[in-house]
Amino acid sequence: MAKCNTRSRPSPVTYPVVRLALWACGLDVFWGCGVFQRYLRRLKLNWFPPAILDTGQGFKLGRS
């Protein structure tokens, strides 16, 4: 009979620690920068609207 070595199996604490590490690595640390950048872009378009706005869908919007 083979002797069971307890060192070959990871401890039960390992699994939650690994899940927490994978979750933390998946977080976007700079998500606030993207939100702020979208806010500034919207503010700029409100204060300084372009003469013709390219929608990227094949047509352009202009003031009438």
- 27-52 confidence digits (pLDDT tens): 777 878 889 999 999 999 888 887 88
CB-CB contact of 43 with 31 (8 Å):
no
pLDDT of 3: 62
What stretch of H or E contains 18? helix 14-26
The rounded distance, in Å, linking the Cα atoms of 33 and 49 is: 23
The rounded distance, in Å, linking the Cα atoms of 21 and 19 is: 5
The amino acid that residue 10 corresponds to is: P
CB-CB contact of 60 with 54 (8 Å):
yes
Q: Which pLDDT band, with edges at 50, 70 and 90, does 54 fall under?
A: confident
User: What mean pLDDT is predicted for residues 5-13?
Assistant: 69
pLDDT of 26: 79
Q: pTM, whole model, 2 decimals? A: 0.46
The full set of domain ranges for the chain reads 15-57
pLDDT of 40: 94
Q: Is pLDDT larger for residue 48 or for residue 7?
A: 48
